[in-house]
Structure 1
Amino acid sequence: MNHTRLKQAVIAAVASGLLTAGSAMAFDLKGALKDAVSDQLGGNSKTVQPAASDNQNAAAQEKSAQEKLANIDWKNPSQEDEIAVGRNVTGTILGAAPLVNDAQLQQYVNKVGRWVASQSERTSLPWHFGVIDSSDVNAFAAPGGYVLITKGLYQRLSSEAQLAGVLGHEIAHIVQRHHLKVMQKQALMDAGSSFLKQKISKNKITQRALSTGAEISARNLDKSAEYEADSMGTVLAARAGYEVYGLAEVLQDMETLSSNDGSVALLFQTHPHPDERVAQLSLTSGEQIDKLSGGKTLENRLYKLK
């Protein structure tokens, strides 16, 4: 899937109601998110035909997920609220571009991602990682511990340290609740409107906030959030024992790509230019990064796509 189709699919999913609390597609995703992504994103490679009881359980889980979304406390969202929101936003992205059909790849990325996430202050989140089948060079984070990177980005990596740096950046967004805060702001603005109080239910307010979350993935956070995620993500990867320059190397590789290259068009639209990010990372974290140097790159351990 090219970058235009991926962006259009995400935005179209919002417009068509894929992201609404009552949408079965947002929760089922052709099985990709069954049992909170325990199959593909969770690393279980076995394929089992669903029994009738499984279908009943899935329906019950979907109903429970819908109820959670409809009753989110946007003034003070709980971790359970955050996970429900992230599952829904991730569903929209997977509806636009499915997971790469390679169970070993998904298991490997989950192993690396969860190790890096274990270095953060939010180890209690049920972290899930996946590689989606898109030629774009990009990555996405959703509240509650959901991280997706594109096949196009994965193919450009040359070491496990670089993968850890990329995942660390997305983990940092979740740790700092960057996306959730934007969605919370949208929900509270809607709830504070006297017109919306009269005309729109709490469920509708949640739907609008979730739409904002999907649009963030298709568009952008502010620069300060991206710079903060670069800095924190680099530190998390270093804490995990990886060479500290992994993310910087990926950004430097992106600098070599033309802004007219379709594979990075969406990335360049939704993030500061890679050279700006490298400069800011050096400015804000240079001395700290130098002190953390000496980790492993693990080029030979990077999983090779089939």
Structure 2
Amino acid sequence: MSRAGLRWALLGLVLIAGPALAQLDVGKLFGAAKKAVDVVTTKSVDEEREIGRQWAATLLGAAPLVRDEALQQYVNRVGLWVALQSERPDLAWRFGVLDSPNVNAFATPGGYIFVTRGLLLRLRNEAELAGVLAHEIGHVVARHHLNAIRKAQGLSLGADLLSEFALKGRGDETVNERLLGGVREVLTRGLDKGDEYAADRIGVVLAARAGYDPFGLPSVLQTLQAMDAQDSTLALMFATHPRPDARLDALDKSMGTQLDGLGTLSQAEARFLALRGP
């Protein structure tokens, strides 16, 4: 199937429910996420958001936001539109561009999502940006980070993190040291490969649901694959994620089609380049 044909096939499968969904198991892509959402209560969402706020503060302490209001608003508009297509549209989603030359993107529990200036400068269009944000949204939807903290601290998946790690006070900017230790471990070690592959699959579907070219994320992975692995700006990305070629292979197998030979994407390119800057 041609790239154009596959794009429309993916869009049709994602946007129109029907028997064809079963052929690519697209419905199963959100299995773990839906299971997590089904048990979410207002209290647990508030607690998740509080953990995410603390986590986001840690990231912002390492790298501030880029001082460009138009750019930040633009990334928030793109991210929110994609997030609204997810299984958790009601989260108070927030998106930002960190002023860091490193090539990376981050998500925290509760819907805080960041992309670095270094990664943004390597993206070619809005579809690629949407694909990156959709991958990070996938982590939040499936609560990957919360489950990773539980695992790091030897807790059961059903454990209430803020019951186990009580906050010192709602207005306090610090959390229990054990919880913070779990956050540090996840930031340093990254998530399990299975979580990254799952977020890739969810990201492709979310981007397509939002009307973007579903090849946006694979195109970014190809860009990363072509970069020099010794480039210091890639160090953290490569230390905490599977290799780009492994991620492309996993997407290839799960989506049932070859993802090689992607060309330059053009969707919203002028708008994207104007806001990204030189």
TM-score, with length taken from structure 2: 0.73
Q: Point out where structure 1 has 5 or more consecutive residues left out of the alignment.
A: 1-75, 191-199, 290-294
Contact 1:147 1:167 in 2 (8 A): yes
2:228 to 258, 273, 287: 258
Distance 1:224 1:142 in 2: 18
2:184 aligned with 1:214: yes
Contact 1:173 1:225 in 2 (8 A): yes
Q: How does 1:56-71 map to 2 (within 5 A)?
A: none
2:255 aligned with 1:285: yes
Give the direction of change, closer, same or farther, for the CA distance of 1:188–1:152 in structure 2 (3 Å limit): same
In the TM superposition, what whole-angstrom CA distance separates every residue of 1:198-233 from its partner, at most 9, and x where no partner exists? xx9845884312331233123211100000000100
Corresponding residue for residue 109 of structure 2: 143
Corresponding residue for residue 58 of structure 2: 92
Q: Point out where structure 2 has 5 or more consecutive residues left out of the alignment.
A: 1-41, 157-163, 169-174, 260-264
Corresponding residue for residue 156 of structure 1: 122
Displacement of 1:77 = 6.9
Would you identify which runs of 4 or more consecutive aligned residues in structure 1 move more than 2 Å? 184-190, 200-207, 286-289, 303-306
1:230 to 200, 211, 216: 200
TM-score, with length taken from structure 1: 0.66
Corresponding residue for residue 168 of structure 1: 134
- SS of aligned partner of 2:50: helix
Corresponding residue for residue 72 of structure 1: none
Superposition CA RMSD, Å: 2.4
- SS of aligned partner of 1:263: helix
In the TM superposition, what whole-angstrom CA distance separates every residue of 1:3-58 from its partner, at most 9, and x where no partner exists? xxxxxxxxxxxxxxxxxxxxxxxxxxxxxxxxxxxxxxxxxxxxxxxxxxxxxxxx
Corresponding residue for residue 26 of structure 1: none
Q: How does 1:41-190 map to 2 (within 5 A)?
A: 78-186=44-152, 189=155
Distance 1:201 1:296 in 2: 47
Contact 2:193 2:241 in 1 (8 A): yes
- SS of aligned partner of 1:156: coil
Give the direction of change, closer, same or farther, for the CA distance of 1:299–1:225 in structure 2 (3 Å limit): same
Contact 1:241 1:296 in 2 (8 A): no
Deviates more, 1:180-189 or 1:108-117: 180-189
Distance 2:153 2:249 in 1: 35
Contact 1:85 1:144 in 2 (8 A): yes
2:238 to 248, 262, 268: 268
- SS of aligned partner of 2:113: strand
Contact 2:127 2:268 in 1 (8 A): yes
Contact 1:234 1:244 in 2 (8 A): yes
Name the amino acid aligned to 1:305: G
Displacement of 1:168 = 0.3
Contact 1:219 1:270 in 2 (8 A): yes
2:276 aligned with 1:304: yes
